[in-house]
Amino acid sequence: MERRRLGKLEVSAIGYGCMGLSYGYGPATDRQEGIRIIRAAAERGVTCFDTAEAYGPFKNEELVGEALAPIRDQVVIATKFGWNIDPQTGERRPGLNSRPEHIKAAAEGMLKRLKTDHIDLLYQHRVDPEVPIEDVAGTLKDLIAEGKVWHYGLSEAGAQTIRRAHAVHRITAIQSEYSIWTRDPEAEVLPACEELGIGFVPWSPLGQGFLTGKIDQSTTFDRSDFRRSFPRFTPEAREANLALVHLLKQMAERKNATPAQVALAWLLAQKPWIVPIPGTTKLPRLEENLGAVAVELTADDLREIETSFAGIPVTGARLPEQILQYSNR
């Protein structure tokens, strides 16, 4: 597997987003099956595994910790704090909480669940407007000095916040939604990352599965699948957005690839410090995703994609408003 750098942290060019094994996209995967696919990813060269305390809460971190314990020194584990979750019980309360004492308590719980003595990359999951970002960065600086955390990241943060935090302690990576149909970071966040030497980790690089070509207007989602409430996933929006998938399929046919591989290859071609983290619960899809590193998109291919996609508007907001309000702060 090709390697890339997030700041000073070296990882595989494609990581693995673990969330869907426990949370978000329907019923949780069987625990042993989840362990099997995480280890299968590692066997195929993936070194960057992404989780968060909010996924469950706690269940996903516990799964990741168990799966990676035998090879802990060979992988990078990234997790996140920031929602108002009781560090002891996992009770989810309204809103955010990035008070320094809460961050420190959350980190202690993460270390236990992940079965490790350090967190390779710790992100603030969402920027808390009630806590100055300098206080958050200072707390991470303390945790790094103590050896409990090795690298600091922000998720869904705006460029100004990134600069303020980076002035207190070097940021290794920014994680935000980014894909061929979600281009928000391009205006300000990616330029800030490039200027400051920060890596970028796109979450949902396959558009919550839509860019794989496996979803259409007739697809039904489980009651526990949060895409049921996403504006971009109403039947009407899905029908309109299939035009985007059609373009991906055309390029994929010419490249002897799949739409998912083209979507991931497009991200990899944007910057050498971008590391997407697609998730899946199925081994064949894992192998398909990792195969994207072998898909070469020429400058002409990239121009064609850009021109073609520019003529098709995306229908629907990427997230519900109650979640979107916490982004780009």
Q: Strand, coil or helix: what is 321?
A: helix
Of 55, 123, 178, 326, which one is the catalytic site residue? Answer: 55
Q: Tell me the pTM.
A: 0.98
Enter the tokens of residue 2.
């090709």
CATH code that applies to domain 3-206+270-294? 3.20.20.100
Could you tell me the residue ranges of all domains in the chain?
A: 3-206+270-294
Cα Rg, the chain, nearest whole Å: 19
Q: 182, 204 in Cβ contact below 8 A?
A: yes
Q: Which amino acid is at 176?
A: S
- List pLDDT tens digits, range 275-307: 999 999 999 999 999 999 999 999 999 999 999
β-strand 9-12 against 76-81: which pairing, if any?
Answer: unpaired
CB-count exposure of residue 222 (10 Å: 0-12, 13-18, 19+): exposed
- List pLDDT tens digits, range 225-258: 999 999 999 999 999 999 999 999 999 999 999 9
Q: 164, 329 in Cβ contact below 8 A?
A: no
What pLDDT is attached to residue 143?
Answer: 98
Beta strands in 103-235 (DSSP E): 121-124, 152-155, 173-177, 199-203
Reference 278, options 296, 259, 297; nearest CA is: 259
Q: Strand, coil or helix: what is 17?
A: strand
| CA 12-17-21 angle, 5° bins | 140
What pLDDT is attached to residue 1?
Answer: 93
What pLDDT is attached to residue 41?
Answer: 98
Q: Which amino acid is at 285?
A: R
Enter the tokens of residue 251.
């390029």
CA–CA dist 203, 123 (Å, integer): 13
From first to last of the 329 residues of the chain, give the pLDDT tens digit.
999 999 999 999 999 999 999 999 999 999 999 999 999 999 999 999 999 999 999 999 999 999 999 999 999 999 999 999 999 999 999 999 999 999 999 999 999 999 999 999 999 999 999 999 999 999 999 999 999 999 999 999 999 999 999 999 999 999 999 999 999 999 999 999 999 999 999 999 999 999 999 999 999 999 999 999 999 999 999 999 999 999 999 999 999 999 999 999 999 999 999 999 999 999 999 999 999 999 999 999 999 999 999 999 999 999 999 999 999 99
Q: Strand, coil or helix: what is 182?
A: strand
Beta strands in the chain (DSSP E): 3-6, 9-12, 16-17, 48-50, 76-81, 83-85, 92-96, 121-124, 152-155, 173-177, 199-203
Secondary structure tally for the chain: helices H, strands E = 11, 11
Which run of H or of E encompasses 166? Answer: helix 159-168
CA–CA dist 51, 59 (Å, integer): 10
Q: How many CB atoms lie within 10 A of CB 216?
A: 13
Peptide bond into 132 cis (omega under 30): no
Q: 127, 329 in Cβ contact below 8 A?
A: yes
**Is 55 a known active-site residue?**
yes
